A = this chain, B = another copy of it.
Amino acid sequence: MHVPAEIGDYTDFFSSLYHATNCGIMFLGTDINAFKNWKHLPIGYHGRSSSIVISGTPITRPYGQTVPAKSSVPEFGPCRLMDFELEMAAFVGGPPTALGERIAAKDAEDRIFGLVLLNDWSARDIQKFEYVPLGPFTSKNLGTSISPWIVTIEALRPYIVHNFPQDPTPFPYLRHDDKFNFDIKLEVDLKPENSSEPTTISRTNYCYMYWTVKQQLAQQTVTGCNLRPGDLLGSGTISGERPDSLGCMLELSWNGTKPLRLKSGEERKILEDGDTVTLRGYCINDNDVRIGFGKCEGKLLPAVPLD
C-alpha cells in the first residue's frame, strides 16, 4: 500500500480545546490561556512530508538530545518518552492556488477533499529540549502514519454535527455559517509485543475539534500561502473531556503520574518497544448506516544503536 496522494506540504494544527487545555495545565501550570493566540486563530506548524508513511509501516525509536530531570546539560541517546498522537487529517483538493491568494473559511468547501486517520508519533523528551523558539522539529519528523484511504466530505455529510462553540467570535476570514464538524467515533488500541490482546486505551470523537477544517484552511492561506492538491492538514491531537477520551499517552497517563493498566496486566506511562498502536475511526447514524476509515497502525521498534 502507498499513501493515497502525493503530499506536497503537510501542516499540523493544534485545534482540540481539551488537548490544548491539558498541555497548558501539565506544562505551564495554567490552562488554555497560557496560549494567548489559541482562541483567536487555529495555530499550527509546518511538518515534514517525506516522513509520512502508510498504516502498517513500523516506526523506530529515535535518538536525540534530551535534558534529564534536575540537569541543565543535554545528553544524547534513545528517546525515553515515545508517544502517539490520535489525529485526523484533511487532504486538500482542487487545482493549485496562486501565491498571494487567500481563501476565506466560507469559501473553503471545494478545497477539502476528505479525511484520513493520522498518528503523529512524537518524541516528547526530544521535543521538550528543541522546541523553543522555533517549534517541534526532529521530535516529529521520525514518522507520521496515515490510514490508506480517504473518506470524502461528501460521504461524511450524513454525520455532520454542530460546530464547537467559539468565544470570542473569530475574525470574518475565519467565519462560516454552515456546520462543518463531524461525528466520527475514534478509538486507540495498544498491544504490547508479547500480548495477543489489544487494550482500547481511548475512545473519543472528532467532534471535539474547536477549529474546523475550513478555518484551518483559511488560516493556512491567510498570508497568501499557495495550496497544491494533496496537501495535508493535520487536526492536532484530538482529546475529549473525560480521562478515557484523551488522544495521547502524555494525557492518558497525565504526564506519567497515572499509569494505564493493560489487559495483559502490564502498565504503561508512555509507549514501550514492541507496542503496536492502532487508531480506528467510523461513523454510524440513526439508521445504522456505517462508514469506516479503516485503521492507522504502527509498531514501535527499538532504537538502532549508533555505529
Contacts and interface: CB of A to CB of B under 8 A. Distances in A.
Counting every copy of the chain, the complex holds 2
A193 to B, nearest CB: 18
A135 B136 contact: yes
Interface stretch (A32-40, A245-253, A275-283): A32-40
A82 to B, nearest CB: 11
B36 A134 contact: no
A205 interface: no
Nearest to A76: B171
**Chain A interface SS verdict (over half):** loop
Nearest first, the 6 closest Cβ-Cβ pairs linking A and B are A135-B135, A62-B223, A141-B225, A45-B134, A142-B223, A60-B100
Contacts of A172: 76, 306
Contacts of A173: 63, 76, 306
A264 interface: no
A150 B231 CA distance: 27
Given A62-B224, A76-B173, A102-B63, A130 B50 contact: no
A165 interface: no
Nearest to A53: B99
A34 to B, nearest CB: 9
A64 interface: yes
Contacts of A102: 63, 306
Given A36-B72, A48-B9, A49-B8, A43 B141 contact: no
Contact of A45 (B62, B135, B231): B135
A139 B46 CA distance: 12
